[in-house]
Structure 1
Amino acid sequence: MRRLENLVGAAEYPGRGLALGRDRDGAGFAAYWLTGRSPASKQRKLVVSADEIVVQDVSGGSTDDLRHYTAAVRGDGWIVVGNGTQVSELAEARAAGRDLQLALRDQAYEPDPPIRTPRIFATASTDGTGITIGSARSLPGAEDLVQHPSLYIPELPPATAVTISTYAGTAAGVITSGIPEVVSTDTAWTSVADLVWGRLDPGLRVALFVVPLDAPSFADAIQR
């Protein structure tokens, strides 16, 4: 398996990405990072509260659901992470006991043609088990159709994570992704932020957070 940070660094412009996994000692963590090409995309920050992490505008302009959204929600023994309005919707589905691989089918890619950015998400129990990761993406060759690749893993071994990103190309040539992958992460969870942040293009990176799954709130989030 490729290492998480090496996979992140393989694309100049990964857009938005996330990972759920267990570090070398078995501690569960969730990570989320965002990059941007336009001035508006770069003028964002993370706002952390006990049960939510929100991507917020800092320019004073109008709110745009494609750039400003809830990126993480914590419920009773679970977490949902993602890149848009689907995070809150899937959190409601999880709270209602729905299978999120099935709930994902209610989602479509973002309304931003011609790119058609995938909506990505991942969820896990706070003990690090029951991981589901997937996306709603445009089907290559039939772009108006929606594809829902997803992966369910009952329990990851230590030093392993699942990850997904919206893009896999360059800032000049955006290539959509939204395909889950399994990677290695053989460090402490507290090192993940610096490892991933260091592989993101300095001219494109905007923000990042890493949180321990078993903490009672998001207050212990590591931010960049």
Structure 2
Amino acid sequence: MDANALAAANFELLRDNPYPGRGLVIGRSSVEDAWLMIYWIMGRSASSRNRRFVAAGTTLRTEPIDTRQMENPELLIYDAMLELPSIYLVSNGDQTRTIYDALLAGSSFDAALEKREREPDAPHYTPRISGMLDLQTFPGRITLSILKASKANPANTDRFTYRPGKLPRGFAMGLTTYRGDGNPLPSFSGDPLLLPCAGKAEAVLDTYWNALNADNRVAIAVKQISVQEGTSRLLVRNRFTSQ
């Protein structure tokens, strides 16, 4: 199967998945000299759906819509995207800040995540998924991580780090937290997914938003990052804005 067919097949798997949970995708635009960083959240419970994305400059964060209805804010409210010079971070939890602080102090992506575990939300033990785009090396380098409950003992964490090779324009690599719906929710398994990244940022946002299950999607964001200028802009779409 060639790259286009594989990316299309993986995208159909995403479209057919009623609950991939949170997801992150990093890829190169097919039409612009830019990287696109995509992040979305989904929710089944009232507390999970009681959120929206807020862009504050180049930072993306989750925010409660109604603070009176928020449960487990330590797992639901966090900075999802942060930046350092030529380095762009995305994750599904407050490990974004852990990575950011470690890099700022001269440490590394891997060392930062050694301090973190899968989420403590038994029985699901939601994986922590994280991504980094490093533009210090042209045209850019991706690092992806997933921290999952160990199959041998969920009290422990299995750690997987991926460093995909150079991506052609129009392709992306992604991770989700779950393989589908269930109780407990089945964790993502296997290697990161090769996915399409066709069109401008606005078109990519529409494509991925429309692929997510309409009953469970909550919010999506796309950060467009210029390769030449190193500047970025955030596009945000929220399903819920008030309750």
Superposition TM-score, scaled by structure 1 size: 0.90
Q: Where does residue 40 of structure 2 map in the other structure?
A: 33
Cα RMSD after superposing both structures? 2.1
CA drift of 1:8 comes to 2.2
Q: Decide whether aligned partners of structure 1 residues 162 and 204 sit closer, same or farther in structure 2, where only a CA change above 3 A counts.
A: same
1:55 matched to 2:62? The reply is yes
Find the partner of 2:127 among 113, 118, 123: 118
CA drift of 1:199 comes to 1.4
Q: Where does residue 2 of structure 1 map in the other structure?
A: 7
The 3-state SS of whatever aligns with 1:153 is coil
Report 1:164-175 matches (<5 A).
164-170=175-181, 174-175=185-186
Find the partner of 1:68 among 67, 73, 77: 77
CA drift of 1:155 comes to 2.9
Q: Where does residue 210 of structure 1 map in the other structure?
A: 222
Residue identity opposite 2:101 in structure 1: E
The 3-state SS of whatever aligns with 2:75 is coil
Give the conservation status (yes or no) of the 8 Å contact 1:150–1:180: no
- Computing the radius of gyration from Cα coordinates, the structure with the larger value is 2
1-structure distance, mates of 2:128, 2:205: 22
1:17 matched to 2:31? The reply is no
CA drift of 1:204 comes to 0.5
Residue identity opposite 1:74 in structure 2: E
The 3-state SS of whatever aligns with 1:148 is strand
Superposition TM-score, scaled by structure 2 size: 0.83
CA drift of 1:179 comes to 4.9
1:188 matched to 2:194? The reply is no
CA drift of 1:213 comes to 1.8
Q: Decide whether aligned partners of structure 1 residues 87 and 122 sit closer, same or farther in structure 2, where only a CA change above 3 A counts.
A: same
Q: Where does residue 107 of structure 1 map in the other structure?
A: 116
Q: Decide whether aligned partners of structure 1 residues 89 and 111 sit closer, same or farther in structure 2, where only a CA change above 3 A counts.
A: same
2-structure distance, mates of 1:197, 1:40: 21
Q: Decide whether aligned partners of structure 1 residues 178 and 100 sit closer, same or farther in structure 2, where only a CA change above 3 A counts.
A: farther
CA drift of 1:76 comes to 1.1
Q: Decide whether aligned partners of structure 1 residues 178 and 165 sit closer, same or farther in structure 2, where only a CA change above 3 A counts.
A: farther
Q: Where does residue 3 of structure 2 map in the other structure?
A: none
Residue identity opposite 1:67 in structure 2: L
Give the conservation status (yes or no) of the 8 Å contact 1:108–1:136: yes
CA drift of 1:103 comes to 2.6
1:146 matched to 2:157? The reply is yes
Gap regions ≥5 residues in structure 1: none
Residue identity opposite 1:112 in structure 2: D
The 3-state SS of whatever aligns with 2:73 is coil
1:135 matched to 2:146? The reply is yes
